[in-house]
Each structure stands twice: as structure tokens, then as C-alpha cells.
Amino acid sequence: EVQLVESGGGLVQPGGSLSLSCTTSGFTFDDYPMAWVRQAPGKGLEWVSVIDWYGDSTKYPRSVKGRFTISRDNAKNTVYLQMNSLKPEDTAVYYCATLVGRYESSSYSADDFGYWGQGTQVTVSS
């Protein structure tokens, strides 16, 4: 059974930091680039980071670049997201997902992701 389990979400003040983890099982972890995708209330999905198969390359959209850092540990089948300088507009449910689309793409949509976790809530508020 494929499982992706996110953890580490919560409530944080603007300017604060959070670290998310996604532990996976049931598939060959390093067969896939991995991603973090978020969905804010009333909005569509937005990819916020992607990492290649071995952690040599990462990508971010402009909205989070310089503030978020994705990493992975293939020995632990786990992907991480370090979020710094958080803003209220970062409030969303954060999902980890396998990337099944082309890693070389400049942007990603929902169809580019295969397996998904259940999500973890991140709320940025004073």
C-alpha cells in the first residue's frame, strides 16, 4: 500500500518558521522526483517546491523562492520542506506528492503529480 504521511504543520506567527516532513512507503522512493503542493482556502492547487531524484536540483515558484527549502533523504524515504519568513498568504493545506510529469518543466499542474499525502494544515496568523 502506498502511503505518504505529512507532519509538522501548525499555527505560526508571520515571520516565523515551520518544518514539514513527509514519510513515504509502498513505492520505490528514489524512482520519483518529489514535490510539495499547497491549497489555500477557496483557491486552486499551487506547487511550492520540487526536488529531483537524488536531491541535486530543486525548483521553486517566485512566491516562495528564497524562503522555502525542499530536501530529501532517500535512505529514510522522506522529503522535507523548511519554510522561513512565513506570510499570512502561505496559509494552506500542504501536500507532498510524487512528480510523474517532466521534471524539466518550468511549472506544474495537478496532472503532474501521482501519489499524494493526506495534507497538513499550515496557518500563518498573529
Q: How far is CA 113 from the centre of its chain?
A: 11
**pLDDT tens series, the chain, 126 aa:** 999 999 999 999 999 999 999 999 999 999 999 999 999 999 999 999 999 999 999 999 999 999 999 999 999 999 999 999 999 999 999 999 999 999 999 999 999 999 999 999 999 999
- Which whole-number Å values give the CA distances from 13 to 37, 44, 68, in the listed order? 21, 24, 16
CB atoms near residue 93 (< 10 Å): 18
For the chain, give the number of residues: 126
Could you please report the per-residue DSSP string of 9-35?
A: -EEE-TT--EEEEEEEESS-GGGS-EE
Cβ 69 vs Cβ 81: under 8 Å: yes
Cell readout for 34 is: 518529489
